[in-house]
Amino acid sequence: MRLALDAMGGDTGPAAVVAGALHFAAAHPDVSLVLVGDESQVRGALPARLPANVRLHHASQVVGMEEHALAAVRAKRDASVRVCFELVKRREADAAVTAGHSGAAMAAALAVLGRLPGVERPALAALFPALGASGRCLLLDVGANAECRPSHLAQFAVLGAAYVRACHAVASPRVAVLSNGEEESKGTPLTKGALALLKQSDLDFRGYAEGKDLFSGAFDVLVTDGFTGNAVLKASEGVAAGLTGLLQQAVHQAHLPSRLGGLLLRPTLAALGRLVDASEVGGVPLLGIAGVGVIAHGRSSPRAISSALRVARRTVEADLEGTLASAVAAARGWLATRAVKGAKGKTPEGF
């Protein structure tokens, strides 16, 4: 198996990415890694003698975190993230992995690989730890599609359910639409339209869920538009980051022996950590593209990069692309009944 890794991506530059790549390469001699990026910069972070399963592929450009994704990907034909997907397209790699601008990754995947047949909008997903309960909850979209139609949300449900079934061993994922209340009288034309579509699906569809349900353990997949999903994801990270600081401060001020403090805080800090830097989870595939692309978190540590590479490996082994294609094809019957308009309908009161 060959994985193409965007060596320029990530908030911290090539060093952390390369360190994670070397760690992964040492542990997985059966996987070949192609580090894609500016040769002189990446070389500087590498040892003089490369491991047998690591090689470098030069790409002269980079998409910065603050660039407009679509414009940058169109203008920079030799951007590292784009070249990763070109390697997948040319079958020189089985998957692309990047810790860079997630919007740029999606734009590059779409420009180079395109969508799976029948998929209107591929999605970015995030895995939330279900605090206080077992399991995890997948939220999508978290940023690729700021505005959506009901059929997009219904497709996110199909993609998300197929993904957690194939890669997280959830036999029958419980799926819901994120809304502003559990009652069917709540919601917007978008959520109401998605509700109507999903009731006809063969998914284990549970209706509406609320923001708190990302952590309640009651659902495996929640679907929403990318604007709301992004706000929810970042607010949750904000709470967790703030509380991590408060907690560490509290332990510090209590003058506890550090071993005791560590024992006490480890489980809580670990849960906070999963929320804050996603390094436990390590990466989530783009769902709905014609190929495999995995996004690592922008603040990725070497550990997170290594973890994202493992996710990519598992994703290729599970034939996620084929699994998703079958799921979308199977859903075509009920997805076709999209007379339901929504999103463009008249504004009802929110309560």
Give residues 17-36 in contact with its own copies (rule: CB under 8 A): none
End-to-end CA separation in angstroms for the chain: 52
180 near its own copies, rule: CB under 8 A = yes
Please answer whether residues 110 and 320 qualify as being in contact, where contact means their C-beta atoms are separated by less than 8 angstroms. no
Q: Considering the complex, what minimum distance in angstroms separates the CB of residue 125 from its own copies?
A: 14
Pick out residues in 288-347 that bind its own copies (CB under 8 A).
Answer: 344, 347
Q: Can you tell me which of 100, 187, 283, 298 binds its own copies, judged by CB under 8 A?
A: 187
Q: Can you tell me which of 247, 303, 314, 323 binds its own copies, judged by CB under 8 A?
A: 247
259 near its own copies, rule: CB under 8 A = no
Encoding tokens for residue 55? 């090689």
Of the candidate spans 32-40, 262-270, 302-310, 334-342, the one that interacts with its own copies by CB under 8 A turns out to be 262-270
Q: Considering the complex, what minimum distance in angstroms separates the CB of residue 343 from its own copies?
A: 8
Of the candidate spans 157-165, 199-207, 251-259, 308-316, the one that interacts with its own copies by CB under 8 A turns out to be 251-259
155 near its own copies, rule: CB under 8 A = no
Of the candidate spans 84-92, 103-111, 165-173, 315-323, the one that interacts with its own copies by CB under 8 A turns out to be 103-111
Number of residues binding to its own copies, judged by CB under 8 A: 76
Encoding tokens for residue 350? 């929110």
Q: Considering the complex, what minimum distance in angstroms separates the CB of residue 154 from its own copies?
A: 17
111 near its own copies, rule: CB under 8 A = no
Q: Considering the complex, what minimum distance in angstroms separates the CB of residue 190 from its own copies?
A: 9
Phi/psi region, residue 50 (left: phi>0; alpha: psi -120 to 50; beta: rest), is beta
Q: Considering the complex, what minimum distance in angstroms separates the CB of residue 224 from its own copies?
A: 7
Q: Can you tell me which of 45, 87, 88, 104 binds its own copies, judged by CB under 8 A?
A: 104
Please answer whether residues 62 and 257 qualify as being in contact, where contact means their C-beta atoms are separated by less than 8 angstroms. no
Of the candidate spans 14-22, 89-97, 101-109, 282-290, the one that interacts with its own copies by CB under 8 A turns out to be 101-109
What is the Cα–Cα distance from 324 to 158, expressed in whole angstroms?
8
What is the Cα–Cα distance from 207 to 312, expressed in whole angstroms?
31
Q: Can you tell me which of 26, 235, 329, 336 binds its own copies, judged by CB under 8 A?
A: 235
Q: Can you tell me which of 238, 258, 319, 337 binds its own copies, judged by CB under 8 A?
A: 238
Of the candidate spans 16-24, 29-37, 162-170, 265-273, the one that interacts with its own copies by CB under 8 A turns out to be 265-273
Q: Considering the complex, what minimum distance in angstroms separates the CB of residue 22 from its own copies?
A: 31
Q: Which is nearer to its own copies, 91 or 259 (CB)?
A: 259
242 near its own copies, rule: CB under 8 A = yes
Pick out residues in 202-221 that bind its own copies (CB under 8 A).
Answer: 210-216
Please answer whether residues 321 and 162 qualify as being in contact, where contact means their C-beta atoms are separated by less than 8 angstroms. no
Q: Can you tell me which of 266, 319, 322, 337 binds its own copies, judged by CB under 8 A?
A: 266
Encoding tokens for residue 320? 């996620």
